[in-house]
Amino acid sequence: MYPFSTRSTLLLGAGLTALLSAPSTAFAQDQAPAEAADTAEEPNSNDIIVTARRRSESAQDIPLAVSVIDARQLDETGAFNVNRLQQLAPTLQFYSSNPRNTAVNIRGLGVPFGLTSDGFEQGVGIYVDDVYYSRVASATFDFLDVAQIEVLRGPQGTLYGKNTTAGAINITTNQPSFVFEGRAEISLGNYEFRQARLAVSGPLSENVAARVAFSGTSRRGTIRNVVTGQDIQSLDNLGVRAQMLWEAADNLKITLVGDYNKQDANCCGSVFVRTGTTQRPLNRQFAALAAAQNYAPPSTNSFDRLTDLDSQLNAGNVIAGASLRAVWDIGPGTFTSVTAWRYWDWKPENDRDFTGLPIVSLSQNPSQQNQYTQEFRYAYTGDKFDFVLGAFAFDQRIDTQGTEAQGLAASRWNIAPNNALSNDPSVLNGLTARNTQFLESTSLALFGQVSWKVTDAFTIQPGARVNYDKKKGFYQRRVFTGTGTELLGTETDARSRAQLGVFQPQVSAPEDTDWNLTYDLTLSYELAPDVLAYGTYAKSFKTIGINQNGLPTDANGQPIAAAGTIRPETVDHFELGLKSQFWDRKATLNLAAFRTEISDYQATVNNGQFGVLRGFLANADKVRSQGVEADFSIRPSQRFTAYASGAYTDAKYVRFTDAPCPPELSGGTTAAAGQTPSAPSTPGGISPANCDISGQRLPGVSKWAFSFGAVGNLPTEFLGKPGDVYLGYDGSYRSGFSSNPSPSAFTNIEGYHLSNFRIGFRSDDGFNLFAWVRNAFDENYFEQLFVGPGNTGLIAGLPGDPRTWGATAAITF
């Protein structure tokens, strides 16, 4: 049996106690806006209330492409984190090889695909109750006591504190109430899946209320490590959130929030997928190197889910924080102040050679982040004008202490066979790089948006933002031999030169400042009752970046200082949309067409060698994402609801002439001036210094993505309780996509379709019991493919979850 952690065991017990002891009569409850709409008595009352524009309004009345998922849909579809949320929102992309190396993109844009650098900004902002979460690792945690999630598509910098060029995920949690209420939930499933949730709220005095929520998730891994006998890619998440609301006056509410989230998973690894022929000499490609060391992967079938990683794995991860939110109604408007502190502690251990050989024996880059934010915002609603004005301040410090060490097999793997040192394991065994780095980042902004109702049908909505950013970084790599001698980079003996070919000492301290102006204009017109057309143009920026993980080097091995800072992205965004409801508002159809062009796109450049440089940022000349989206839902009665969402996204590099080459064009002798590079996959060939990938697809983006589903219910009685029996289905499909920044034939992922089913009983007094199966047809698919270091042709991968099933019991009281 896979051990369930002590923390999760306590939480499971608490949840079961609450579930079994809860009274059978449901108390009156202040529902979240989306839940209230979902459970309204009138079948045509399908309005979903959102706060996307910093005020409560119907999602159908705002000229903005937004997907809304309420608490019930999250719970019953098992979308308990952003990874599963993407199955409900087809324009959302999520990739995570570990919590640090996580990307959340919308319409294919947001962050560059690949190894993460602290030196650039996220393009998709994650906000929880108005607090900006700068660390994308937060997207890997479980949602905690969520009322509603809004996925906003397109630039949002004139409405949100932190400039977000690709979109935003706006998460609203359940708030403290002055009526005692709560919810308890228990889930059990295969792979020893166990999840417990508990939320309790009520008054502490006449004008003070509190709410406390807990969540715990545990599951053994889905990949078996034949070396350690452990199952990796496990889940072990714990979350706690406490809120206290003080109604200081009739028009003033102050909320204090604290949260703590911890992950302690046996994670993160990969499986062998395939090999491809690169331009290295044949004796330096994977097959020959593995044979020389009598090595073979545990299986050549990735979906046997076997690996043999021989280094310690860990994804220890803590995200916590506190916030103070004051909402003051002043006349016709509302003044909001949000003061917040966020903390992130990342303690990883990885196996960067993706094999069972001791090539890289240690790879870890633990980080600690402190973030402080302050936002002031005033929202006014009038007959002719609505507006939002805001000011935002952001201060962040990240410290990282990295260690990477070579193992006994490193000499044979990293030193050319014609060099006698390749047969001496002691040359590279124990060779260690110790990295020390920090980043200080400051951002200040003034932003605002106005809605002018020219007529009852026609509205003009301009917005603007002024942003100042300052970034200051420091990076130092010191190199030590296995005997503890420090290498300074000036050594000339053959042994030292071989060691310096793997790790070079380096010091850099890039810093930069930048001002930019963001603005947008939206025109909307109500063509008929419940039919809204709109058009938007937005000029946006992603601020400067710096290469925080070290700099690329020139032909003489010297750091290229000019690569220390990265130019800001310039974004031109165009969008046309139509929002409509018909059939007495029982049906909703929303359409959007968009085109986003980004100049000086901040791309990730990967270095194929072990340890030389994990990856750095560079500017691609231009990228473009364009497409069409459709969202349809129908609710003819309280007994049946169906939905379908689809997106066609054409995202490509318009111009990127000096990109890193894919593995089939890498590893050979670098072409000199006038030389013609060899054909792809020519062993011992001539490789281009860089590649022109203009016109090729952006990584991680499927051209076609769909989400669809339906749920129906019938009245019945179960265990003496009146209620409804229901049957639900949720499906998703995405076409194939590239899993490498420079498209490669070796890393194309085929499209796949997932089907999820649930059947259950929901009583009239708040009890819900249902069984579920996810990936019901046990589809084999990859979430990501990775190019192994060293250009040996090794391709590793992360398989998606297999079929999982279980049952959930929940009660609302």
pLDDT digits (tens, 9 = 90+) for 667-721: 999 899 889 999 999 999 999 988 999 999 999 999 999 999 999 999 999 988 9
Half-sphere exposure for 265 (CA within 13 Å, toward CB): 31
The span from the CA of 696 to the CA of 406, in Å, is: 36
Of 304, 220, 174, 334, nearest to 812 by C-alpha is: 174
Residues near 586 by beta carbon (within 8 Å), at least 6 away in sequence: 43, 44, 46, 634, 635, 636
Dihedral sign, CA of 696, 698, 700, 702?
negative
CA-to-CA dists, residue 608 to 71, 105, 596, 659, angstroms: 44, 25, 31, 13
How far CA 63 is from CA of 37, 48, 518, 575, 592, in Å, comes to 20, 14, 18, 10, 10
Answer yes or no: are the C-beta atoms of 198 and 242 closer than 8 Å: no
Mean pLDDT, each 10-residue run in order, the chain (813 residues): 40 38 33 35 59 82 92 88 89 89 91 76 92 89 93 90 89 96 98 98 98 97 96 96 98 98 94 97 94 95 97 93 97 95 95 94 94 97 94 96 95 91 96 96 96 97 96 96 96 95 92 95 97 97 88 75 89 98 96 97 67 66 97 96 97 93 92 92 93 94 97 94 97 96 94 97 96 98 92 95 98 96
Q: Which amino acid is at 358?
A: P
pLDDT on residue 4:
41
What does the alpha-carbon distance between residue 137 and residue 268 come to, in Å, rounded to a whole number?
A: 14
The tokens describing 689, both together, are: 């210094």
d(Cα 70, Cα 31) in Å, to the nearest integer? Answer: 11
Taking CA atoms, 310 is separated from 229, 306, 358, 363, 482, in Å, by 11, 13, 7, 12, 19
Residue 83 has, within 13 A of its CA and on its CB side, a CA count of 15
- Which tokens hold the place of 185? 């939930």
Q: How far apart are the first and last CA of the chain?
A: 34
pLDDT value, residue 26: 32
Q: What angle do CA 521, 525, 527 make, to 5 degrees?
A: 155
Contact between residue 450 and residue 463 where contact means Cβ atoms under 8 Å apart: yes
pLDDT in the model for residue 112: 78
144-149-155 Cα angle (round to 5)? 130
CA–CA gap between residue 199 and residue 18 (Å, rounded): 10
Amino acid 1: pLDDT = 38
Q: What's the pLDDT score for residue 46?
A: 63
What pLDDT, on a 0 to 100 scale, did the predictor assign at position 25?
32
96 token code pair: 């995570």
Token digits of residue 106: 């919308």
Tokens of 90: 């087809």
Q: Is 617:605 a contact under the CB 8 Å cutoff?
A: yes
* Residue carrying the six token digits 């999982």: 804
The CA distance from 63 to 92, in Å, is 19
CA-nearest of 175, 193, 195 to 74 is 195
> How far, CA to CA in Å, does 144 sit from each of 104, 214, 617?
19, 7, 34
H or E segment to which residue 534 belongs: strand 531-542
Yes or no: say if 1 and 9 are a contact pair by the CB < 8 Å rule.
no
CA nearest neighbour of 365 among 95, 104, 614: 614
Q: Quick check: 355 and 295 in contact, CB under 8 A? A: yes
Nearest to 577, CA basis, from 517, 499, 521, 522: 522
Describe the chain by its helix, strand, coil percentages, rounded to 5.
Answer: 10, 55, 40
Question: Number of H helices and number of E strands within the chain?
Answer: 7, 46
- Chain-centre distance for alpha carbon 813: 33
Q: Are 789 and 609 in contact (CB under 8 A)?
A: yes
Which residues of 656-703 form beta strands (DSSP E)? 669-670, 686-687
Is 794 exposed, middle or buried (CB count within 10 Å of its CB: 0-12, 13-18, 19+)? buried
| Confidence (pLDDT) at 604 | 76
Q: Report strand pairing: 669-670 vs 686-687.
A: parallel
In the chain, what are the domains?
6-812 (2.40.170.20)
Residues 248 and 250: their CA atoms lie apart, in Å, by 7
β-sheet bridge partners, residue 477: 435, 506
Distance from C-alpha of 77 to C-alpha of 776, rounded to nearest angstrom: 13
Chain-centroid distance of CA 487 in Å reads 38
Q: Give the residue from 261, 269, 434 showing the smallest Cα distance to 364.
A: 434
β-bridge pairing 271-275 and 794-799: antiparallel
Task: Report the DSSP beta bridge partners of residue 209.
Answer: 203, 245
Query: Measured between alpha carbons, how far is residue 232 from residues 163, 210, 356, 461 in Å?
Result: 37, 38, 14, 50
Helix or strand or coil: residue 663?
Answer: helix
Specify the pLDDT at position 603.
Answer: 86
Burial 56-86 (b: 16+ CB within 10 A, else e): ebebbbbbbbbbbbbbbbbbbbbbbbbbbbb
Q: How many CB atoms lie within 10 A of CB 250?
A: 8
- Rounded to 5°, the CA angle 111-450-162 comes to 25
Q: Is 48 helix (H, G, I), strand (E, B) or coil?
A: coil
At position 145, the amino acid (one-letter code) is: D
Q: What are the CA-CA distances from residue 2 to residues 229, 303, 792 (Å)?
A: 12, 21, 36
* Dihedral Cα 661, 663, 668, 669, nearest 10 deg: 10
> Using CA atoms, how far apart are residues 80 and 328, in angstroms rounded to an integer?
33
- Residue 695: how many other CB atoms lie within 10 Å: 10
Cα(361)–Cα(219) distance, integer angstroms: 27
| Token representation of residue 713 | 């219910």
Query: Bridge partners of 445?
Result: 392, 467
82's enclosing H/E stretch is helix 82-85
Q: How far apart are CA 726 and CA 772, in angstroms?
A: 12
Could you identify the residue written with the tokens 């939930």?
185
204: Cβ–Cβ under 8 A, 6 or more apart, which residues? 210, 244
C-beta atoms surrounding 497 within 10 Å: 12
Q: What does pTM read for this prediction? A: 0.91
Provide the residue type at 95 as one letter: Y
Token pair 């986003």 is found at: 596
**Rounded distance between C-alpha atoms, residue 83 and residue 196, angstroms:** 19
- Residue 119: the pLDDT is 84
Amino acid 97: pLDDT: 87
User: Which pLDDT score is estimated for 160?
Assistant: 83
